[in-house]
Chain A
Amino acid sequence: MRSGRFVASVLDRALRNMWEQRRLHLLALSVMALSLSVVGAFAMVASNLARVRAALGAERVITAFIGAGVDAAGQQRLRGEAAALPGVARVELLAVEEARDRFREALGPHGALLDGLSGDVIPAALVVVAQAEAAPDQMAALAKRLAALVGVEEVAYAAEELERLTTLIRAVELIALAVGALIALVTVIVVSNTIRLTVLARQEEIAIMKLVGATDSFVRLPFVVEGLLGGLAAGAIAIAIVWSLNAAVLGAIGAVAAGALDPIFAVRLSALHASLLVGGGGLLGLVGGLVSVGRFLKVM
């Protein structure tokens, strides 16, 4: 058989089948697209959380707040003690005024709120920068040592949040995995049954094709292509759904929280996840197409 003509005939019949069974295909397409977008949404949240984790993990700054009772000399002494701790690259002392200015800067347009406050409300602080290669547990150890210094009231650093975030990411990933597996199963069942219905509608035609000398692959391939095309389309639609969901969430957050939650949603679907969605959809469709035709080839 001439292969060009064979491919043309297969594509021809696949597209024709899809058009003639368009209601059925639309149904399967919706189910697949929705399933894949749920998986895609989980993937997106997970990769955003991972990005936040990476950012926090790279944060090497620990802030040690100094008690109000410590005088300027005490503050300088504390600075020296902190600088002597292992793993410390650099220490900066923020005086009361300086600390207030920085805080004011951080508050932006709301900075005027600070105007009525007396000096001791905003404590002086040591900004401790750890060495570049500091691992999260080294950061934790350093924070503990800083907290133990006499005169230091409190320490704050990003790695603390990191731990909570890591647990959250694990949970999201686990749920995504479970939901994804369940959805893949459901999708294969839906797709293979849909194609089985379209095959059923063509049972007689298949038998006749075989009687006039069609090979099994000649009969089977259009249905496999049907599944594949449907799956790829569902993957593409899922990407669009996840994408616009993300845009909507970003829009809503932008209005309410002025960018505070941006990091969590800033990354849209990654290219890897997007191609996985399309590839996964295609694969599911392919499998669905393959499993649904076999039985009807044994007609004669």
Chain B
Amino acid sequence: MAIVTGKRNLLSHLAAHAGILIFLALVLFPFFMIISISLRPGNFAVGSLIPPEISFEHWKLALGISYEDAHGNLINPPFPVLTWLWNSVKIATITAFLILALSTTSAYAFARMKFRFKGAVLNSILLLQMFPAALTLIAIFSIFDTLGEYIPWLGVDTHGGLILSYLGGIALHVWTIKGYFESIPVDIEEAASVDGANTFQTFLYVLLPMAVPILMVVFVLAFIGTLIEYPVASILLHQEDNLTLAVGSKLFLYEQNYLWGDFAAAAVLSGLPITAVFLLAQKWIVSGLTVGGSKG
């Protein structure tokens, strides 16, 4: 802090810290609760935050390890949680990359190229996206059911089909990236084209490197969005081995028996890839990449 502040600020500092602590508690409490549930023996949703007794039974099941219960019965993992996790990460990564590729290129077209009906197209893709996805589920199912008859690897119960269905949801990302592109002075790209670069080279070597922060933001958002997506995945995927973690972990909560402990362990597990991706992306999300190119 370089700026000089008076003594009176001490009070407001304390107030600010108190506010932040309260906010943190609000955010973190459910998280600690989940961890606590996953470490408690038995499947109980309620109980004290700090479990009186710690047991790794739920984690063993989540990680696919069998264990012996108090009566000496061998309990096998009911579901392939690790496979689900792998499915989720695979689908989310591929989807995020494809979304990034599609939305940057279309954002480039919308931000920099001139064509007819640009404004109309731009607005209508956004409006169409507003339509709740849950209401289109039947349509999505029948589309992919039919598609699967011609291209099997894009049909129902395939990861290819699911990824393809996610690629429809790029309108918001296109808008985000387009807004960022438009904030970059166009004369830098003009300089590149005078330097002999064609449109694609200008896009690749000049515009994209300056847009890295927003690309990272979009990647993270797309990754998280895909990882936690439930409705579409739940109707397109059926076989147990094919499920994503978001769909699969719901199986712990069947009518007669809510396996809260196993569910909690799976939930914590599904948070790990998000954390990892976010930590990786964070160092690229920096400001000021476009400073210094143009005068004024």
Chain B binds chain A: no
Residues of B bordering A, CB below 8 Å: none
Interface residues of A (CB under 8 A from B): none
